[in-house]
Amino acid sequence: MFSKLSVSLALVGAMFLSVPTNAQDHDHHEDSHAEEAHETHDHAAEEGHDVKAQIKETIEHHLSDSYDFTITEGVSFPLPVILFDEGLKVFSSSKFHHGESVAEVDGNYYVLHHSKVYKTDALGHLTMDEHHHPTNAMPLDFSITKNVFMILVMAIFMFFLFKGAAKAYQTGQTPKKAGRFLEPLIIYVRDEIAIPNIGEKHYKKYMSYLLTVFFFIWFMNLAGMTPLGINVTGNITITFSLALITFLITQVSGNKHYWMHIFWMPGVPVVLKPVMAIIELIGLFVKPFSLMIRLYANMLAGHVVLMSIIGLIFVFGSWLISPAFFGLTLVLSLLELLVAALQAYIFTMLTALYFGSAVEEHDHH
């Protein structure tokens, strides 16, 4: 398995080495690579297949949440596992030894299977159903996983960043330090997102949520572009939670016009009103659903495409083609930086739009 860091180092190396003198080197590298991965296979075709399987495994591993924080190949630290299974069980994820061994806690045995904790016996047996899913019991899992850990780190970072930026305004009107960078963004969210969509009268009480969600998604998307292998916004549970909060705030702040437009649409014939009510009711849930899917799918697709292109370098295994993929990765990374900001903007924008529709005051039709 190759980490992003070692891949990029290999790429930088590839850029500086001339092709003909290193042809031999390359062959040697390929051989040793294949050997250490699967010693038993000899055929070239099977080697190619193994590399592809390995790349797929790497991508899947990167996209899924995990119980330890891997910085680079071989450098990782365990995170606490918190299970609720006949009482609270707290232990370090190092007990799993990266999923290779059974963790024993107070006479109960747990095992990792595809990054999920299952209850098992002392030998770690899992009974599989016909779809190869374990049928063992799954304890309630409140673990500080990699994603939870990153959210906590980002929350603390954002707290101090914005507290520092806000402090400067107590003594004067000029922003200092990080505030110089953040002020235009905050004003942009206020003047271009909140006020036009929610309206001068109501926008203030939603500003805290809009700013939080904007900077959280943006910073998390950017963190996903670091070689640490963080994929927080590309995880459907997290986008689901964000969309759920937006949904709840919208429904709570809905005024009587908002509810009337859902259940008894004014200005349409009476026969149509029940039909419209059903459509509007479906629309109520489709809106947060599309928020959730959009952010999740965009970030997931970005990560998969980037890692697949890095993986292609190993599929072709040629010094001639690798620089082209390096360039492609670079360009796509830049595009991903744009997407990171764009998705944060769109999420905030649509959230503000939904809040606006909830608090809008209509002149009667």
What Cα–Cα distance (Å) separates residue 190 from each residue in 155, 159, 181, 338, 348? 21, 19, 15, 21, 11
Phi and psi at 68, nearest 5°, equal -135, 160
Part of the chain binding another protein (CB under 8 A), chosen from 111-119, 285-293, 302-310, 357-365: 285-293
Q: Which helix (H) or strand (E) segment is 89 a member of? A: strand 88-92
Using CB under 8 A as the binding rule, the residues of this chain from 108 to 147 that contact another protein are none
- What is the SS3 assignment for 113? strand
Using CB under 8 A as the binding rule, the residues of this chain from 160 to 219 that contact another protein are 192, 196
Using CB under 8 A as the binding rule, the residues of this chain from 236 to 275 that contact another protein are none
Rank residues 55 and 243 by Cβ distance to another protein and give the closer one: 243
Please compute, for residue 209, the number of CA atoms within 13 A of its CA located in the half-sphere on the CB side.
21
Write down the least CB distance from residue 287 to another protein, Å.
10
Question: Whole-angstrom distance between the N-terminal and C-terminal Cα of the chain?
Answer: 64
Cα separation, 173 vs 189, in Å, equals: 19
Rank residues 54 and 298 by Cβ distance to another protein and give the closer one: 298
Rank residues 161 and 243 by Cβ distance to another protein and give the closer one: 243
Part of the chain binding another protein (CB under 8 A), chosen from 147-155, 160-168, 258-266, 289-297: 289-297
Rank residues 80 and 196 by Cβ distance to another protein and give the closer one: 196
Identify whether the C-beta of residue 342 lies closer than 8 Å to the C-beta of residue 217: no
Q: Mask of contacts with another protein, 315-354, x by CB under 8 A?
A: ---------------------------x--xx--xx--x-
In sequence order, the 6+-apart residues with CB closer than 8 A to the CB of 205 are: none
Cα separation, 268 vs 272, in Å, equals: 6
Among 239, 298, 322, 348, binds another protein (CB under 8 A): 298
Residues in touch with another protein (CB under 8 A): 192, 196, 289-291, 293-294, 297-298, 301, 342, 345-346, 349-350, 353
